[in-house]
A and B are shown apart, each in its own frame.
Chain A
Amino acid sequence: NAGVTQTPKFQVLKTGQSMTLQCAQDMNHEYMSWYRQDPGMGLRLIHYSVGAGITDQGEVPNGYNVSRSTTEDFPLRLLSAAPSQTSVYFCASSRAGAGGNSPLHFGNGTRLTVT
């Protein structure tokens, strides 16, 4: 199993450009999520999904869109990049289910710089 795969690893954008960060998992996990990690601010949840066709906002959703057409894929779209979106982005997935906790499995991140 590859686990959670994120592409690209690095990306530089100019202000106003758009792009899609890809995330795929091969563990048949229902739950998938996107985080951004900034120095001194820890991990902040952007969007998450509890299954195909279902998405919801996290703590910092503005400027980002997501969709979940399949169980495996959960792309994150930046509509019009801004310097404030310079960050490291992590995708994570886990099994979902009632009555317990399923640990998150993370990808190795995409480092995004917006100039």
Chain B
Amino acid sequence: LAKTTQPISMDSYEGQEVNITCSHNNIATNDYITWYQQFPSQGPRFIIQGYKTKVTNEVASLFIPADRKSSTLSLPRVSLSDTAVYYCLVGENAGNNRKLIWGLGTSLAVNP
């Protein structure tokens, strides 16, 4: 089962681009990479998901190198409201073998 490693915390300023990298050296062939955002007193919320190369949506980009042993969540021009904990999750959600293991998350603080 793949495990993930990500920085415990990061600091940034409003308007900057933030990149959070997750290491997952033993990712399996069928594993997807998913990122979630969590605010205090709320459940995690899906941000973006990918399998390989680059994925972009309205809030973030996800960069995955060819070996898939790491991934980078990119948040363009962060604002104060992006202050949250970000979780990288690696695993396969299909079928009956679904035991996803979460990392400890990266606490992002965006300063004015």
Contact = CB atoms under 8 A, between A and B. Distances in A.
A31 B93 CA distance: 9
Of residues B41, B44, B101, B104, which shows the largest number of chain A Cβ atoms within 10 Å of its Cβ? B44
B99 A98 contact: no
Contacts of B95: 50, 96, 98
Contacts of B93: 31, 94, 96, 100-102, 104
Given A42-B103, A50-B98, A59-B99, A109 B43 contact: yes
Contact of A98 (B49, B94, B102): B94
Given A41-B104, A42-B105, A48 B98 contact: yes
B104 A104 contact: no
B63 interface: no
Nearest to B104: A42
Contacts of A40: 104
Given A94-B93, A98-B94, A103-B46, A45 B41 contact: no
Contacts of A94: 93
What is the interface of chain B mostly: helix, strand, loop, or mixed? loop
Given A59-B101, A101-B34, A96 B94 contact: yes
A105 interface: yes
Interface string B73-96: 000000000000001000011111
A100 B103 CA distance: 21
A100 B101 contact: no
B102 A42 contact: yes
Contacts of A105: 46
B29 interface: no
Contact of A104 (B41, B44, B99): B44
A19 interface: no
Interface of A: 4, 31, 35, 40-45, 48, 50, 54, 56, 58-59, 90, 92, 94, 96-109
